[in-house]
Amino acid sequence: MAATPESPAAATTRRKAGRHRGEGQWAVGHFTPLNGNEQFKKDDDGLNVRTRIETIYSKAGFDSIDPNDLRGRMRWWGLYTQRKPGIDGGKTAILEPEELDDKYFMLRVRIDGGRLTTEQLRVIGEISQEFARGTADLTDRQNVQYHWIRIEDVPEIWQRLEAVGLSTTEACGDTPRVILGSPVAGIAEDEIIDGTPVIEEIQRRIIGNPAFSNLPRKFKSAVSGSPLLDVAHEINDISFVGVEHPEHGPGFDVWVGGGLSTNPKLGVRLGAWVSREEAADVYEGVISIFRDYGYRRLRTRARLKFLVADWGTEKFRQVLEDEYLKRKLTDGPAPAQPGQQWRDHVGVHRQKDGRYYVGFAPRVGRVDGTTLTKIAELAAQHGSGRLRTTAEQKMIVLDIDESQVDSLVSGLESLDLRVKPSPFRRGTMACTGIEFCKLAIVETKGRGASLIDELERRLPEFDEPITININGCPNACARIQVADIGLKGQLVLDDDGNQVEGYQVHLGGALGLEAGFGRKVRGLKVTADELPDYVERVVRNFQEQRTEGERFAQ
Ligand code: SF4
């Protein structure tokens, strides 16, 4: 029997009913969970899964884990199941989640502000060797990620991390994630303001606090008082960027609503200047707006950027001031254009106390437990015991006397950690990719590393800042939209019509005050095998056609 066509009146009623369900904003009374994620978060706070991991799952093993914990709440403690080996990228979208799950986990250690001691790094390295088959990747959010973690070992890993002041609390999930911080906070000669106290106060108030552990989605944040704008402030949900106010002195310019992924948006300025003492209040206000007004109906619209885009900055600031802070914010200036393009602090640089810091580059953030332990030893021998991770998958050793610099540099170089890397090693980042990520379609880390080696061989004379960012799927973990050359992993056809791993090319993206998204080059897809030839061609064309003073990243 043919379906009866819907009457206009019925269609209107249905549309109204749909509107009445709203976007799942708690502040307007929409508390009914509108999807599975909201339901499991309502059923039990993600933070509570820790007790079950410690008392049940680590003892009874992987198969005892409740599916809502396995693919949901365990993220609140930094745990994701990793991809079962041997499943090709063509199956990513068609298999059920449980078919992609391995019985091992990725575990993310949050390193707020990228601040580490040699003791902490040694423990991170030892855990990698004992429990993670030697894996340890530096992420572009200053974290360290392990793979091959067994649920049985998780309580022991937590105990060792927490004994040295590290944690995996809210490293993943719909939570306040790691707080990015300038890796040279407190030491850089050109620093406008040290954001470290702000990060510490946010950690104290917010991280692990059940009042903020059920957000619509993840909440990314960044604090930097460096004029190099070294924390990718444009692509965080909230950022505090160091500025000098003409009357009030050093403080922070507040940005909200940035984020990449499949619907990228750059953050926008609220036009407000906040002092170091006020910044945590403003953070708490903004994360509260997100919790209360954020859209919870569709996961694809649940990031803060959508609310900011719908409200506009004027309304956002007004709600922040009137409903949450109960006072007006001070107007303030925008940050200045940085004087250089590299924001990664690689190389040897003088600190404000006369000592030096030394930044170095592994390939695409890939290190291992043994290397991390050796870095910790080198840092202990040469410095005061302080290190930092950067938002560019690099590391820094702090507090080196001038007489110790050469010895440290040669020690790092002997571990293949370059203090004077080629622009290709320095500027190439890659996400986790198909090796471990369940969403991946193509390989990334290994391909990024071999691309660097190949470009160094083919273009030894090239010496310009360049960024090449490689993602294994349409998500944006390696920030492809804001790279000079952004490569989005997908299956493509080779010359013989076979489906093979490859990339959609985006060109001309950037961060900094000229920030913008790269152009998706229509129809331009390269196979993985063609990648070195393609990048070489782009770079050579630039060299041949450049105008006076033109940089690659323009
Ligand atoms: Fe996984 Fe995609 Fe993120 Fe890469 S970009 S880590 S493949 S989700």
Q: Output the pLDDT for position 11.
A: 55
Q: What is the DSSP letter of 442?
A: S
Which ligand 1 atom is the nearest neighbour of the CA of 444?
A: 4
4: Cα separation from own chain's centroid: 50
Query: What does the DSSP 8-state code read for residue 546?
Result: P
Helix (H) or strand (E) holding 222: strand 219-224
Question: Ligand 1, residues 83, 108, 138, 431: which to mutate, most atoms within 8 A of Cβ?
Answer: 431
Name the residue among 501, 500, 502, 503 with its Cα closest to residue 483.
503
> Residue 473 Cα, ligand 1 centroid: separation in angstroms?
5
Cα–Cα dist 509/120, whole Å: 36
CA triple 546-550-554, angle to 5 deg = 105
**Token code pair at residue 552:** 């690659």
Question: Does ligand 1 come within 6 angstroms of the Cβ of 432?
Answer: yes
Structure confidence by residue, pLDDT tens digits, 45-78: 999 999 999 999 999 999 999 999 999 999 999 9
Residue 296, CA distances (Å) to 34, 285, 306, 535 in order = 7, 19, 11, 41
d(CA 102, CA 434): 13
Instruction: State the greatest distance between any 2 C-alpha atoms of the chain, in Å, as a whole number.
Output: 88
Cα of 449 from ligand 1 centre, angstroms: 17
Angle at 155 between CA 152 and CA 159, to 5 degrees: 145
Any idea which residue has 């206009």 for tokens?
Answer: 8
526 within 8 A of 537, measured Cβ to Cβ: no
User: By the 8 A CB rule, do 333 and 253 touch?
Assistant: yes
**pLDDT of 46:** 98
What are the pLDDT digits (tens) for 230-263?
999 999 999 999 999 999 999 999 999 999 987 8
Task: List, run by run, the mean pLDDT of 10-residue segments along the chain (554 residues).
Answer: 49 50 90 94 98 98 96 97 91 88 96 98 98 97 98 98 98 98 97 98 98 98 96 96 98 97 91 98 98 96 97 98 98 88 92 98 96 98 97 97 98 98 96 93 96 97 93 91 93 92 91 77 88 94 77 62
Q: State whether the beta carbon of 477 lies less than 6 angstroms from ligand 1.
A: yes
Is the minimum distance from the CB of 433 to ligand 1 under 6 angstroms? yes
Cα-Cα-Cα-Cα dihedral of 322, 327, 332, 337, to 10°? Answer: -60
In DSSP terms, which residues pair with 501 in a beta bridge?
491
- Measure the CA–CA gap between 315 and 310, rounded to whole angstroms: 10
* Ligand 1 neighbourhood includes 172 CB (under 6 angstroms): no
Determine the length of the chain: 554
**Token pair for residue 315?**
């309304």
**CA–CA distance, 398 with 188 (Å, rounded to integer):** 10
Contact 319, 311 (CB under 8 A): yes
Q: For residue 145, give both structure tokens.
A: 């990620």
Q: Which residues contact 417 (CB under 8 A, 6 or more apart)?
A: 360, 361, 362, 371, 375, 395
405, two tokens: 């610099």
Please tell me the predicted confidence (pLDDT) of residue 543.
83
Ligand 1 center to residue 183 CA distance, Å? 24
Give residue 98's pLDDT. Answer: 85
Say if ligand 1 is within 6 A of residue 364 CB: no
Atom of ligand 1 nearest to the CA of 473: 2
**324 — phi, psi (to 5°)?**
-115, -50
Q: How many angstroms is it from 521 CA to the middle of ligand 1?
A: 21
Cβ of residue 193 lying under 6 Å from some atom of ligand 1: no
Q: How far is the CA of 479 from the centre of ligand 1 (A)?
A: 10
ipTM of the complex: 0.99
Q: Provide the pLDDT for residue 317.
A: 98
Q: In angstroms, rounded to a whole number, what is the distance separating the alpha carbons of residues 295 and 509? A: 28
Instruction: Give the pair of three-digit tokens for residue 108.
Output: 């993310």
- How confident is the model at residue 6, as a pLDDT? 52
Angle between helices 118-131 and 154-163 (to 10 degrees): 170
- Which residues fall within 8 angstroms of residue 178, CB to CB, at 6 or more apart? 110, 111, 112, 141, 142, 143, 171
> What is the rounded (10 degree) CA torsion for 232, 233, 234, 235?
70
Q: Residue type at 427?
A: G
Residues near 516 by beta carbon (within 8 Å), at least 6 away in sequence: 266, 482, 508, 509, 510
Ligand 1 center from residue 359 Cα (angstroms): 26
If one counts every other C-beta atom within 10 angstroms of the C-beta of residue 19, the result is 9
Cα–Cα distances in angstroms (integers) from residue 384 to residues 379, 387, 397, in the given order: 7, 9, 9
Geometric angle at alpha carbon 466, from 463 and 467, rounded to 5°: 150
What are the structure tokens assigned to 468, written together? 């090449």
Q: Measured in angstroms, how far is the CA atom of residue 471 from the centroid of ligand 1?
A: 6
Nearest-angstrom CA–CA distance, 390 and 369: 18
Contact 295, 216 (CB under 8 A): yes
160: left (phi over 0), alpha (psi -120 to 50) or beta: alpha
